[in-house]
Structure 1
Amino acid sequence: MNVQGILPFARTLLENTLEKGDIAIDCTVGNGHDTVFLAQLVEASGHVYGFDIQEEAINKTKQRLRKEQLHQVTLFQCGHEQFATKLPADHLSKVKAAIFNLGYLPGGDKSIVTQGTTTIKAIQQLLQNMPQGGTIVLVIYHGHQEGKKEKETIESYVTQINQKTAHVLKYQFLNQVNNPPYVIGIEKR
């Protein structure tokens, strides 16, 4: 058996969904790793939109994109719950995949964290606008106090999503200590 780690599994879900020319969203750009990964998957004919409330995250992501010579990305310094008002109308219904890394910016201010309520608002907007087969990947970091609250809020919401609307899965290691991150994957039906 070859069990994938949490982040490789999250990326596999994205790889299985995205193709050249697709539209994707990095809902929490952080240090830009997922933004670069998405841009490489959709290639120059696709487009990636990235969101983060922190200027530091936007700047780090811009640097990483320049280094990789990836130009098919538009970044917004605002919360991911605002994506539906920022994307061009012709791209909104074509978003094939979105990823969230919830918690705080690695190496950044740990008092600035994602919030369950805004994440749920973004998930609702994605499910409303995505085509069938669209995928939402949430990497949940819950080893801090706000992360525990967010985890509970999000799990309460996603377990209530009608199975006719979406498939919802949880990928988690059960025997690891110290609140390891896990993945919630949502595929629109």
Structure 2
Amino acid sequence: MFNNVTEITNVIIDNKVVSGNIVLDMTMGNGNDTLYLSKKVGEKGKVYAFDIQSQAVKNTKKLLDENRINNAVLINDSHENVLNYVTDKVDFAVYNLGYLPGGDKKIVTKSSSSVKSIEYVLTVLNNDGIIVICAYVGHEGGMEEYKDILSFVSSLSKINFNVTKLEHTNRKPVSPKMIIIERIK
């Protein structure tokens, strides 16, 4: 259950996301989280998935089509522009920060857009809503992005949010790290 950030994310999704929810995949990558979330929210729910790379959108569309999923809106844009597309209140959001698996490792998420995106998602997050941030820190700029996000979320009001950080303490310092934000008020 706790072998890696994907398994931990799925445990959270399984315990939080239900049919009819509106959820965000803020870095769609190859579409695995988009697919998982789409199945969880069902036909009454909706998934908004973002990625700056057209290849990620193509990969995700193919995966969704193969699984006959039609409740996802795929957006080829930066996650910092989330409020241009999402006006609904949302129940859950997930970020996998870093680069597109199997893609160009020089194209990576950046602190400035990631922090803005998280800040914006917090404005549309329902009470009891959760944001899961998986930070892959082994690439150039990855640790700095994680630290910038950690600095931002550490300043969130404890009256309104629970913020938790998770990392494997018996692994290399560059192993993926997680930040979980829960809106409580």
Residue 31 of structure 1 corresponds to which residue in structure 2?
Answer: 30
Aligned length: 184
Aligned counterpart in structure 2 of residue 114 of structure 1, from 109, 115, 127: 109
| DSSP-derived class of the 2:106 partner | coil
Residue 55 of structure 1 corresponds to which residue in structure 2?
Answer: 54
Tell me which moved more, 117-126 or 136-145: 117-126
| DSSP-derived class of the 1:145 partner | coil
Unaligned runs of 5+ in 2: none
User: Identity across aligned pairs (percent)?
Assistant: 34
Whether 1:12 aligns to 2:4 is: no
Residue 137 of structure 1 corresponds to which residue in structure 2?
Answer: 132
The CA distance in 2 between the partners of 1:125 and 1:167, in whole Å, is 17
Structure 1 segments (4+ residues) deviating >6 Å: none
- Higher strand share goes to which structure? 2
User: When the two structures are superposed, what TM-score results if normalisation uses the length of structure 2?
Assistant: 0.95
Q: Match of 1:132, as an amino acid?
A: N
Kindly report which structure 2 residues correspond to 1:107-186, keeping only aligned pairs within 5 A, or say none.
107-177=102-172, 179-186=174-181
The CA distance in 2 between the partners of 1:17 and 1:103, in whole Å, is 25
| DSSP-derived class of the 1:96 partner | strand
- Check conservation: 1:14, 1:135, Cα contact below 8 A: no
- Check conservation: 1:98, 1:136, Cα contact below 8 A: yes
| DSSP-derived class of the 2:12 partner | helix
User: When the two structures are superposed, what TM-score results if normalisation uses the length of structure 1?
Assistant: 0.93
Q: Match of 2:124, as an amino acid?
A: N
The CA distance in 2 between the partners of 1:53 and 1:81, in whole Å, is 10
Q: Match of 1:180, as an amino acid?
A: S
The CA distance in 2 between the partners of 1:14 and 1:84, in whole Å, is 23
